[in-house]
Structure 1
Amino acid sequence: MTAVTDQDPTEHTGRPKGTARGDDRRADRSPGEHGHRGETATAPERRDPRQERERDREREHARGGDPRGTDAVRHGDRTGRGDRAERDRPHDAPSEAADYADAWDDGLIARRVNETDGAHQLPAVSRPAPGGPGMVPLAYDGPLRARLDALRELVGLSRTRLDNRTLAEAGRVLDEAGARRRLSGRHTVVAIAGATGSGKSQLFNTLAGVTISETGVRRPTTAAPIACSWSDGAASLLDRLGIPGRLRRRPLQYPDVDSQLRGLVLVDLPDHDSAAVQHREQVDRILALVDAVIWVVDPEKYADALLHERYLRPMAGHAEVMFVVLNQIDRLPGEAADQVLDDLRRLLDEDGVALGEYGEPGANVLALSALTGDGVAELREALGQFVAERGAPARRISADVDVAAGRLRPVYVTGQRAGLSEEAREEFADRLADAVGATAAGEAAERAWLRNAGRACGTPWLRLWRWYQDRREPATGRLPLRVQADEEATARQRVEQAVRTVADRASAGLPAPWAQAVREAAVRGAQGLPEALDELVAKAGLPPGRPPRPGWWPVAVFAQACMTLVQVLGGLWLLGQIIGFLSPNLGVPVLLMLSGIIGGPVIEWSCRMAARGPARRYGQEAERRLREAAAGCGRARVLDAVAAELLRYREVREQYGRVTGAGVR
């Protein structure tokens, strides 16, 4: 198909002074150009601009003329070509009058060609409505869909634990994956990027077969991205890139080129090392959206640190959707081109860019000359095969997911075991038990049992003596009341220390955000824990009243009473003999008294020995109840909150493993 010219050849021979170049261009557009957007499937026939203007004048004369003359027709008056172009446009094609309303007299596109080259200037590519009958949305395969779903779930689970800056890249990948999926799956958007003077615009024109992007010694030459589409239905993709309709073009349609590169959308980017900041910003923006990129380097700047450190090294994971082209090999004598190409491969390998050699996936590295055409056929063939596979968009999204997962790895994986061990749980329970005095409470319960046994089974005389001693003990030796407050403060400190210890043990080996979340959960759970432990001590402490008595205690009490009775009887008998009331017989009363005096302590000692076992068990039971109550309170308030955070971390770690496509320990 022969391209329709975008300008009047008379522009180079002269123009009335004071007339804007953009006005001339709008006036000189042919009807074929205005109707081309809606009729891209059929090649417009080649027309001469002078003949078109003569026919316009004849039509105006036949209608009765217009006092404004031909200029009105040129400027799109409704009685002239503008009206006719509107009538010729198909009903289902969207109007592009708004896209052509602004002049593109901005020095961006090579329009300074002579009349012989004017026929090769190209009309803008058509822009059918997105979602039209010809547009087939992109479809991701099962593994990629699963990875994207896992990444979305991962971001959702992490929003309350990670800041938005950390999740920004993952969110951008999800947004771009969703946006690209809704667009055409039959097109592959490939950007041509390079430094100033690398010849990328010349390569762009060579692939298109016609001058589209301006080339020259002025730097920077390309100031805005220019797109060239080899087939219909790419308008929505270019809208996503933000390329206006006036910068969208069609190649010179040869039959073999059309079939070989059908589905290709080629974008010529500004120089990535341009002195203009907005140029570099456009490069970075579009590189994040295209399906693939062709890096064009020249023999002078192929080792430029800016190219390798800012672009190639960070994009090493995108090697499968990357072409690296060494241009201008016609300037290298002899075997110098091979030497430079080998050195370029070495630099790419140092950057971590996998090279597609020996059938392995990776970047395609080629050497060519856009000026002489040497090697361009190989690039065209590689591009044709690359586009025909229609796998570049999915591979690009998959590489983006890999990059996002790599950046998120430090916040999900540390390579260490993480969790709360059973030993840490038992240590926490022991610390809480010490804080509430569980051991001391058990010992006190044991002493209470023994003391009760001594009182029940002791001799009356010993019990009377102990009562007398208690009455005589002064009250000045007791501890002041402030000691209780000091004990409470110490107990609170022990609880806080126990919480800090278990939080540190649980967060060990976790990434920093999740370790912080575990510690915060432990601190929140510890609020009010000392008061709750005090209530539990009051409820789960020693039961009110005396400790329970075993079944043999009544027998011991009866035996002790008998010994006391024997002592009293022997004493009275001896007293009766002394006063002469009874006949003298010292043996029997003395024996009775000695039996009571010795038997009573023996019975008391025996009962004390027999009571040690039950007393110990009673004390242990009291300590166990207190320990269980303290452990239950600590588990409900602290350990459960910590375990919930650890469970959440395990969930996000499993999701991260699904995102990477492999399990993570």
Structure 2
Amino acid sequence: MNQMTTTTSAVPPQPAAGNADEPAGPGLAARIDGLQRLVDLGTGRIDPDLLADTTALLTRAGERLRLSGDHTVVTLAGGTGSGKSSLFNAVCGLDLSPTGMRRPMTSKAHACVWGLDGAGPLLDWLQVDKRHRYARASALEPEGGRNGAESGSLQGLVLIDLPDHDSIAEMHRAEVDRFVGVADLLVWVVDPQKYADAALHRNYIVPFARHAGVTLIVLNQVDRLQEEEIDECVSDLRRLLEAEGLADPRIVTTSTVAEGGVAGFREVLADTVAARRARAQRLAVDIDRLVARFADQRAVTEPPSMIDERRAAELADALTDAAGVPAVAEAMESAYELRAVDYVGWPVAKLAARLRSDPLRKMRLTELRDELRGAFTGPVGAQQGDVDNALQGIADDVVTGLPPAWARSVRAAGRSHAAELPEALGDSLKDTLPAFNQVPRWWWLVKTWQYFLVLIAALALIWIALLVAYGVLGISEQPPDLVGNPGLIPYVTVLLACVLGMGALTSSACRNVIALSSARHGERMELHMRERIAEVAEQKVLYPVADELRAYARFQAEADRLLGSSGS
């Protein structure tokens, strides 16, 4: 028996070659990929403890699959006095692990390997101390080991003797927990006196009940029992294990002092090593156990893919009110009318209004312009409180039936851009405001006509003045007939009155047309603003919710597939 001299390599272990005797490999790889997708989709959304456990399993699975597939890691675990170290020595053929009844005896994991090729990186990964690594090279061994068993049949076995699970030393229990989590085959060694040990069953048998396929129970020290007592003890142990959820438990009886007392155990080990399925089976069971925890993270019913049109319309209406669109549309309607006055208003009436010196009248248009252009240029186009109220309950309909974690995630997605919405609403409204230097072409025609009438009225006034000066006052002895005939004054006055009346009527008629068109203008602008706000609602609220619902749909499909493949 030689101590292993394999040293830790500085080169990362390479993936093990594919093995035709491991049929679960392709399915296992697909399930590992599925678990990774669940982690990617569930990160930040579901139970972080579940995600952490899944990530740890994925890491362990990846590492184990990269290591030797020709070796099967078998751990011998048990309580003080169960005889697991004696069993380890009996299988190995030499006294490699210390034995005794005091607590504890085995303080470090001991490993015996049959077949060195590829075992070094595996033992490094298992963190087995190099001082406690032993190798069995069948070519150098005698024909039979202790109890007459043939050692060559165990080629590929990595047998590990663990410290006592009930050790008073915390580090020993931690060592057992670590190896129990990575072993390909779990072997629990019990004795006739303490096979019902509460600590073993509570801490290991019950939590690993789903691992029945990769668990072996060894009832050791049966040499202390009568022949009929052995069957009774095995039956009682089986009943206890089945009651704790270990389906169809495999139980082997051994004795390290009787001739051929470990032959049955060695035969099970030989069959396990020869099948080369324990590694994949252990990982598959671990995946099954973990996938079952994802059952609570998905719903049975098919989730909606997006918020319905009614709720989307209600959101757009609420954001429209939050942004003050009706008030803005009304202000724009007033601004439209005031702007029109500059073009279609009767200049004579505007001159008379200016003579009355109404400063508010002069300031009104400028104020409206400044308010309309400046209301949405700051960081806040709507009050945050109003936006929050608009978002209240936006995802209530679509989260009905979703698991709590995903319901919270979808609701959070609906509010993920809440802080950006006021400014986004303001920007969208600012972009809808028309430029003030763009006016309808007919306004210019009316303005030209009005000033033409003003020109006629001014000429008529000058004509009347000349008629009075030359025709009535006689400031010239021979004036021209057009300015010297006082009889023309009534006719020119009538012309002046007609021009003034025509200008007033034109202004009044245009005001009526503008009053109607300004209402339509306000409606068009309000509709345009609502459309822009609906676009903002889609980008900032509806699309994030839809993305989250699609993520959940992919999560549920992947979880259902994994649960179906595991039979959960």
Under a length normalisation based on structure 1, what TM-score does the superposition of the two structures give? 0.57
Match for residue 631 of structure 1 among 524, 534, 543: 534
1:491-549 residue CA offsets vs partner (Å, 9 max, x unmatched): 543222122432566666355378358526724x2224224324434554699799999
Give 1:256 deviation, angstroms: 6.0
Q: Match of 2:394?
A: 502
The residue type paired with residue 238 of structure 1 is L
Give 1:183 deviation, angstroms: 2.6
CA distance 1:630–1:663, shift in 2 (3 Å): farther
Partners of 1:231 and 1:262 within 8 A in 2? yes
Q: Residues 36-47 of structure 1: matches in 2 within 5 Å?
A: none
Say if 2:106 is the partner of 1:203: no
CA distance 1:137–1:661, shift in 2 (3 Å): farther
Give 1:164 deviation, angstroms: 7.5
1:55-96 residue CA offsets vs partner (Å, 9 max, x unmatched): xxxxxxxxxxxxxxxxxxxxxxxxxxxxxxxxxxxxxxxxxx
Q: Match of 1:170?
A: 54
Match for residue 377 of structure 1 among 253, 257, 263: 263
1:17-71 residue CA offsets vs partner (Å, 9 max, x unmatched): xxxxxxxxxxxxxxxxxxxxxxxxxxxxxxxxxxxxxxxxxxxxxxxxxxxxxxx
Give 1:237 deviation, angstroms: 2.6
The residue type paired with residue 296 of structure 1 is V
Give 1:372 deviation, angstroms: 3.1
The residue type paired with residue 501 of structure 1 is G
1:165-199 residue CA offsets vs partner (Å, 9 max, x unmatched): 65433333233223323332222111111111112
Q: Taking CA–CA contacts closer than 8 Å with sequence separation of 6 or more, which of the two structures ends up with the larger relative contact order?
A: 2
Q: Match of 1:237?
A: 122
Q: How many residues align?
A: 478
CA distance 1:174–1:493, shift in 2 (3 Å): closer
Say if 2:335 is the partner of 1:432: no
Give 1:271 deviation, angstroms: 0.8
Match for residue 286 of structure 2 among 387, 400, 424: 400
Q: Residues 517-536 of structure 1: matches in 2 within 5 Å?
A: 519=412, 522-523=415-416, 525-536=417-428
Q: C-alpha distance in 1, partners of 2:208/2:28?
A: 19
CA distance 1:261–1:532, shift in 2 (3 Å): closer
Unaligned runs of at least 5 residues, structure 2: 338-348, 361-367, 373-379, 442-508
Partners of 1:202 and 1:371 within 8 A in 2? no
CA distance 1:349–1:646, shift in 2 (3 Å): same
The DSSP-based 3-state class of the residue aligned with 1:214 is: coil
Q: C-alpha distance in 1, partners of 2:42/2:529?
A: 39
Q: C-alpha distance in 1, partners of 2:183/2:193?
A: 27
Q: Match of 1:303?
A: 196
Q: Residues 418-567 of structure 1: matches in 2 within 5 Å?
A: 420-423=306-309, 424-438=311-325, 492-502=384-394, 509=402, 511-512=404-405, 515-516=408-409, 519=412, 522-523=415-416, 525-540=417-432
Partners of 2:188 and 2:216 within 8 A in 1? yes
The DSSP-based 3-state class of the residue aligned with 1:219 is: coil
Give 1:220 deviation, angstroms: 2.1
The DSSP-based 3-state class of the residue aligned with 2:2 is: coil
Say if 2:201 is the partner of 1:315: no
CA distance 1:302–1:407, shift in 2 (3 Å): same
Match for residue 148 of structure 1 among 21, 32, 38: 32
Match for residue 413 of structure 1 among 298, 309, 312: 298
Partners of 2:113 and 2:158 within 8 A in 1? yes
Partners of 1:137 and 1:183 within 8 A in 2? no
1:222-264 residue CA offsets vs partner (Å, 9 max, x unmatched): 2222222333323333333223244425386529623432222
The DSSP-based 3-state class of the residue aligned with 1:300 is: coil
Q: Match of 1:456?
A: none
Q: Match of 1:216?
A: 100
Q: C-alpha distance in 1, partners of 2:409/2:16?
A: 47
Unaligned runs of at least 5 residues, structure 1: 1-121, 356-362, 451-463, 476-480, 550-603
The residue type paired with residue 3 of structure 2 is A
Partners of 2:39 and 2:54 within 8 A in 1? yes
CA distance 1:376–1:427, shift in 2 (3 Å): farther
Q: C-alpha distance in 2, partners of 1:384/1:431?
A: 73
Q: Match of 1:79?
A: none
Partners of 2:106 and 2:162 within 8 A in 1? yes
Match for residue 78 of structure 2 among 145, 170, 194: 194
Q: C-alpha distance in 2, partners of 1:533/1:244?
A: 68
CA distance 1:176–1:345, shift in 2 (3 Å): same
Say which is worse superposed, 503-512 or 324-333, in terms of deviation. Answer: 503-512
Say which is worse superposed, 161-170 or 334-343, in terms of deviation. Answer: 161-170
Partners of 2:4 and 2:135 within 8 A in 1? yes
Say if 2:16 is the partner of 1:124: no
Q: C-alpha distance in 1, partners of 2:315/2:85?
A: 70
The DSSP-based 3-state class of the residue aligned with 1:526 is: coil
CA distance 1:216–1:615, shift in 2 (3 Å): same
CA distance 1:401–1:252, shift in 2 (3 Å): farther
The residue type paired with residue 535 of structure 2 is G
The DSSP-based 3-state class of the residue aligned with 1:265 is: strand
The DSSP-based 3-state class of the residue aligned with 2:176 is: helix
Partners of 1:657 and 1:663 within 8 A in 2? no
Partners of 1:161 and 1:514 within 8 A in 2? no
Q: C-alpha distance in 2, partners of 1:430/1:373?
A: 88
Q: Match of 2:492?
A: none
Partners of 1:514 and 1:649 within 8 A in 2? no
Give 1:429 deviation, angstroms: 1.5
The DSSP-based 3-state class of the residue aligned with 2:28 is: helix
Q: C-alpha distance in 2, partners of 1:267/1:492?
A: 64
Give 1:308 deviation, angstroms: 1.9
Say if 2:67 is the partner of 1:183: yes
Over the aligned positions, Cα root-mean-square deviation in angstroms equals 5.5
Q: C-alpha distance in 2, partners of 1:129/1:546?
A: 81
The DSSP-based 3-state class of the residue aligned with 1:382 is: helix
Q: C-alpha distance in 2, partners of 1:279/1:228?
A: 19
CA distance 1:663–1:262, shift in 2 (3 Å): closer
Partners of 2:78 and 2:189 within 8 A in 1? yes
CA distance 1:136–1:625, shift in 2 (3 Å): closer
The DSSP-based 3-state class of the residue aligned with 2:158 is: strand
Partners of 1:138 and 1:182 within 8 A in 2? no
Give 1:391 deviation, angstroms: 0.8
Give 1:393 deviation, angstroms: 0.9
CA distance 1:127–1:432, shift in 2 (3 Å): same
1:304-354 residue CA offsets vs partner (Å, 9 max, x unmatched): 222122112222232221101222334445644434333333333343323
Q: C-alpha distance in 2, partners of 1:309/1:252?
A: 42
The residue type paired with residue 316 of structure 2 is A
Q: Match of 2:458?
A: none
Match for residue 166 of structure 2 among 273, 296, 311: 273
The DSSP-based 3-state class of the residue aligned with 2:150 is: helix
Q: C-alpha distance in 2, partners of 1:137/1:644?
A: 40
The residue type paired with residue 272 of structure 1 is H
The residue type paired with residue 285 of structure 2 is A
Give 1:432 deviation, angstroms: 1.2
Q: C-alpha distance in 1, partners of 2:215/2:260?
A: 21
Q: C-alpha distance in 2, partners of 1:547/1:344?
A: 96
1:570-623 residue CA offsets vs partner (Å, 9 max, x unmatched): xxxxxxxxxxxxxxxxxxxxxxxxxxxxxxxxxx9xx99xx99x9998776454
The DSSP-based 3-state class of the residue aligned with 2:245 is: coil
The residue type paired with residue 82 of structure 2 is S
Q: Match of 2:274?
A: 388
Q: C-alpha distance in 2, partners of 1:195/1:663?
A: 32
